Structure 1
Amino acid sequence: MSARILVVDDVPANVKLLEARLSAEYFDVMTASNGTEALALARRAECDIILLDVMMPDMDGFEVCRRLKTDPATHHIPVVMVTALDSPADRNRGLEAGADDFLTKPVSDVVLIARVRSLTRLKMMTDELRMRAITSLEIGMQAPERSAIADAGKGGRILLVDDRQSSYERLATILAAEHTVDVESNPTEALFHAAEGNYDLLIVSLDLHNFDGLRLCSQARSLERTRHVPILAIAEAENATRLLRGLEIGVNDYLLRPIDKTELLARARTQIRRRRYTDHLRDNVQNSIEMAITDALTGLHNRRYMESHLATLAEQASTRGKPLALMILDIDYFKSINDNYGHDAGDDVLREFAVRVRKSIRGIDLACRYGGEEFVIVMPETDLHVAGMVAERLRRSIAGEPFAVHKGTKRIEVTISIGLTTLEQKGEAVADVLKRADTALYRAKHDGRNRVVSQAA
């Protein structure tokens, strides 16, 4: 795993030491001697992780971290403060500034490399989501950066897994000041509880009686419903080796006992903010995918999706020797609806038409807006006779009840014409099937509209 690490320190000896450690692990290392230089490099997206000293002359590390975390261009870059300051107040100040971790010098090579590798995995995952979400911005969706910066990380749902009553009562009381907390004292039930609870954070004690806390963390990472939930591990100071192992298997952060109240709250907020940000990125990606294949007005699939998916359905039908029916529907005299009642009324008709189509077909059927007032319905494993019955039922559904327009103030009569055919010949081109259905539709319109015309292969 390779990543570009930015080391920020005004002491050349410290820079050289960190550079040697990281280079030995095949990380690409770049350096900055002050905060201003570090901010400029980070804004140019030239680093994956920042190792930041606190005591610097022009701008201290706390201020650098605050600026990084409040800039939409850099807030997603993990920041680890590496400093000689070792008081709880300094550590909490760093975490409150937005640092992902606070390591006190001298830092062992094992701890440093484990933390960098863990954050590298996180950064790569976030970068992938950010790249995929670029399309979301191009189609007008809101970028999540500004909401992430404004998010205080409070109001989360936390599952605390701990079987020591004195411990979980204290931790739950602290966390309850900012979050909703559920306690699971039975480790064997914890994974089921986590999967069902839609939590923002799992806090797992690694000192469970007769149960391996690391195995629970590993299982949470392998289960689809908990894979992306951040995990904060808690352990005794002598269990540092197990904590490092936890970072390797997907634990996001850790705390050593005795637990400092302020630090616990700060680390919980950091993990919850990150969870919400990555969830927002995933939602944007999913929404952009849906928007690319969905007609915005009717909610049905669009022509692009139909043309690609129809070929797959036709191939499956040919391979399995099953029938495939296809119908093209056209709203009769749709232009006159727009001319007489306005385009808003036309949109109302199209939306209601899509609703009635969905009610008339099966879940496995594919309904698409082909363009304008034309629609296509593809029905797998359906012969011409059955498809004709469905088409006639749909025709009656449209003609049998007027369409409400202008917010229900007017109701207008609407009818449709349907051209129907089936894929009968193995390996027949999809374009030929569509052309045959279109020919049948032309006949339906020519013969007086408001009717279904079938055309066999």
Structure 2
Amino acid sequence: MSARVLVVDDQEPNVRLLEAKLKAEYFEVVTAFNGLDAISKTNDHQPDVILLDIMMPGMDGFEVCRKLKADRRTRHIPIVMVTALDQPEDRVRGLEAGADDFLTKPVDNLPLFARIRSLLRLKVLLDELRVREDKVEARGLSPVEANETDISGSRQLIITGEERIAEHLAERLPDEAVAEKEIDPAKAVSRAADGFDLIIVDLTTKVFDALRVCARIRSNSETRHVPILAIVDPDEMARSVRALDLGVNDIVNRPVDRGELNARIRTQLRRKRYADMLRERLDDSLEMAVTDPLTGLSNRRYLSSRLEQAVQRVAHGEETACVMIADLDYFKRVNDSYGHDAGDAVLQQFAECLRHRARAVDLVARFGGEEFVVLMPSVTLNEAAIGAERLRATVNKLSFRLPGTDSVLAVTVSIGLAEIHAGDTVDSALRRADEALYRAKAAGRNCVKLEKVQTKAA
């Protein structure tokens, strides 16, 4: 996986060494020699990963990290601090500044490239979500913001082979977290799908193959996006690298420092919440794109796409289909006499009636104003007419409630029906249904009319 990496260090030999290693693996490399230059290069080049030295004159790496993570344009870029500092308090300080991980100088190639690959996989996912988020913001919606500190109520599953070690790890978790423990590997994989925010796996256990547990959790669609934090033995570098390649999000060396563990947990939870909020916004925006906001039915745009599919299926002889257009009679009088709130209430109640009367395979949409369209697949015109007449009769018996009062209205509906034929377009099918609706209105309303069948001359 190739990518653009920004290397930041005030010592040119360090920069050139990392640059050579990265280019040998076909990464594109951008370099910077101080904090201000690093921020400028990040904005200009939008790197995929930043390798950031801590000890620099002027603006040190901690401050650079804080500034980049505070900027919406750059906060999503993973930052790995490359430093000679190797004390837990230094790592905690960096994690609290927003760093994603640490590498200790001199940098070994195995953990370097394992870390970069791991962070790139995460960034690719976030970039896809952010592209859609940008489109949502362009429609005037507010940007997604992740809570930076609050992890209260988060559920974390500890997986290890011994109850004693599980208790030991649970005691080191943040006080606000809800910790659950599992020492059976089969049950652990099953329980991982139970809505946990973070999974902590002890890779040092000799009771079972903890790497296989990580792989099974990551391959399950229900747990694919749940962050995994692994406890590792610092002397088993190859195992740590393997864990990262399998999809583990972060690692903590034994003996476990509580401050570092908590800082890494907060980092993972913050990142997960940001990704979850992006996904939720994407789901909401997709729903908004195809849904009528007043009635909750499908909108005209979505109807058009589904009608086009139905036309194509009919053209290929795969099925029959009909189109129903239903129009509330004298609806303008409702708005004029009782106000638009009353009109909206009538539309909503009629939409609910349509939704309940339609089959599961039917598509019900608001076409505009008081006009509704139902796409009815796998029916003939006569079969569709039976359903349309039942709908008309149901509406005729309904009492439509007016908001804020005990008053009710009697409302009727006129319906036009057309069958989709081979050679039809969406417009031609809708036009014939609309012509049938016009004849229903002309016949006195509150009735169902079918398209006129064209007979061939002998």
Q: In the alignment, which of 157, 162, 179 is matched to residue 164 of structure 1?
A: 162
Deviation at 1:155, TM superposition (A): 3.3
Aligned amino acid, residue 227 of structure 2: P
Deviation at 1:61, TM superposition (A): 1.2
- Aligned to 2:46, the other structure's residue is in SS state coil
Residues 4 and 448 of structure 1: CA distance in aligned 2, closer, same or farther (over 3 Å): same
Deviation at 1:153, TM superposition (A): 4.2
Instruction: State the match for 1:452 in structure 2.
Output: 448
Residues 36-91 of structure 1: per-residue CA shift (max 9 Å, x gap)? 22122223452111111111111121121122222222211111111111111111
1:274 equivalent to 2:271? Answer yes
- Aligned to 1:355, the other structure's residue is in SS state helix
Deviation at 1:149, TM superposition (A): 5.5
TM-score normalised over the length of structure 2: 0.94
Residues 374-428 of structure 1: per-residue CA shift (max 9 Å, x gap)? 11101112223332222122223322222223334543222111111223x4443
- Aligned to 2:276, the other structure's residue is in SS state helix
Residues 320 and 232 of structure 1: CA distance in aligned 2, closer, same or farther (over 3 Å): farther
1:148 equivalent to 2:146? Answer yes
TM-score normalised over the length of structure 1: 0.94
After superposition, the CA RMSD in angstroms is 1.8
Residues 114-172 of structure 1: per-residue CA shift (max 9 Å, x gap)? 1112111211211111012222112233211xx21544444322111112222110111
* Structure 1 Cα separation of the partners of residues 256 and 430 of structure 2: 68
* Structure 1 Cα separation of the partners of residues 347 and 205 of structure 2: 60
* Structure 1 Cα separation of the partners of residues 153 and 247 of structure 2: 24
Deviation at 1:327, TM superposition (A): 0.5
Deviation at 1:455, TM superposition (A): 2.6
Instruction: State the match for 1:287 in structure 2.
Output: 284
Q: Which moves more between the two structures, 174-183 or 373-382?
A: 174-183
1:213 equivalent to 2:210? Answer yes
* Structure 1 Cα separation of the partners of residues 354 and 4 of structure 2: 53
Q: In the alignment, which of 434, 442, 445 is matched to residue 438 of structure 1?
A: 434
Instruction: State the match for 1:373 in structure 2.
Output: 370
Q: Which moves more between the two structures, 76-85 or 287-296?
A: 287-296
1:406 equivalent to 2:403? Answer yes
Asked whether the 8 Å contact 2:174–2:262 carries over to 1, the reply is no
Instruction: State the match for 1:10 in structure 2.
Output: 10
Asked whether the 8 Å contact 1:164–1:185 carries over to 2, the reply is yes
Alignment of 1:218-233 (within 5 A): 218-233=215-230
- Aligned to 1:59, the other structure's residue is in SS state coil
1:428 equivalent to 2:408? Answer no
Instruction: State the match for 1:245 in structure 2.
Output: 242
- Aligned to 2:279, the other structure's residue is in SS state helix
Aligned amino acid, residue 248 of structure 1: D
Asked whether the 8 Å contact 2:292–2:366 carries over to 1, the reply is yes
Aligned length: 453
Aligned amino acid, residue 326 of structure 1: V
Instruction: State the match for 2:56 in structure 1.
Output: 56
Residues 4-37 of structure 1: per-residue CA shift (max 9 Å, x gap)? 1111111112111111111111111111222122
Instruction: State the match for 1:33 in structure 2.
Output: 33
Instruction: State the match for 2:337 in structure 1.
Output: 340
Q: In the alignment, which of 249, 256, 260 is matched to residue 259 of structure 1?
A: 256
Deviation at 1:209, TM superposition (A): 3.9
Aligned amino acid, residue 293 of structure 1: V
Residues 182 and 456 of structure 1: CA distance in aligned 2, closer, same or farther (over 3 Å): farther
Residue segments in structure 1 that go unaligned for 5+ positions in a row: none
Aligned amino acid, residue 265 of structure 2: A
Deviation at 1:435, TM superposition (A): 1.7
Aligned amino acid, residue 99 of structure 2: A
Aligned amino acid, residue 61 of structure 1: G
Residues 237-286 of structure 1: per-residue CA shift (max 9 Å, x gap)? 23220110111121111112111111111111111111111111111222
Asked whether the 8 Å contact 2:159–2:199 carries over to 1, the reply is yes
* Structure 1 Cα separation of the partners of residues 31 and 319 of structure 2: 65
Instruction: State the match for 1:188 in structure 2.
Output: 186
Aligned amino acid, residue 122 of structure 2: L
Residues 336-394 of structure 1: per-residue CA shift (max 9 Å, x gap)? 22222222222222222211111111221100111121111011122233322221222
Instruction: State the match for 1:104 in structure 2.
Output: 104
* Structure 1 Cα separation of the partners of residues 174 and 98 of structure 2: 21
Asked whether the 8 Å contact 1:69–1:149 carries over to 2, the reply is no
Instruction: State the match for 1:173 in structure 2.
Output: 171
Asked whether the 8 Å contact 1:75–1:149 carries over to 2, the reply is no
Residues 130 and 321 of structure 1: CA distance in aligned 2, closer, same or farther (over 3 Å): closer
Q: Which moves more between the two structures, 92-101 or 402-411?
A: 402-411
* Structure 2 Cα separation of the partners of residues 86 and 322 of structure 1: 69
- Aligned to 2:73, the other structure's residue is in SS state coil
Q: Which moves more between the two structures, 396-405 or 177-186?
A: 396-405
1:114 equivalent to 2:102? Answer no
Percent identity reads 50
* Structure 2 Cα separation of the partners of residues 13 and 182 of structure 1: 48
* Structure 2 Cα separation of the partners of residues 296 and 354 of structure 1: 12
Instruction: State the match for 1:390 in structure 2.
Output: 387
Residues 320 and 171 of structure 1: CA distance in aligned 2, closer, same or farther (over 3 Å): farther
* Structure 2 Cα separation of the partners of residues 338 and 455 of structure 1: 30
* Structure 2 Cα separation of the partners of residues 281 and 2 of structure 1: 25
Residues 24 and 152 of structure 1: CA distance in aligned 2, closer, same or farther (over 3 Å): farther
Asked whether the 8 Å contact 2:149–2:266 carries over to 1, the reply is no
* Structure 2 Cα separation of the partners of residues 53 and 323 of structure 1: 67
Residues 292-314 of structure 1: per-residue CA shift (max 9 Å, x gap)? 11111111111111111112123
Asked whether the 8 Å contact 1:141–1:284 carries over to 2, the reply is no
Residues 80-113 of structure 1: per-residue CA shift (max 9 Å, x gap)? 1111111111111111111100222122111111
- Aligned to 1:182, the other structure's residue is in SS state strand
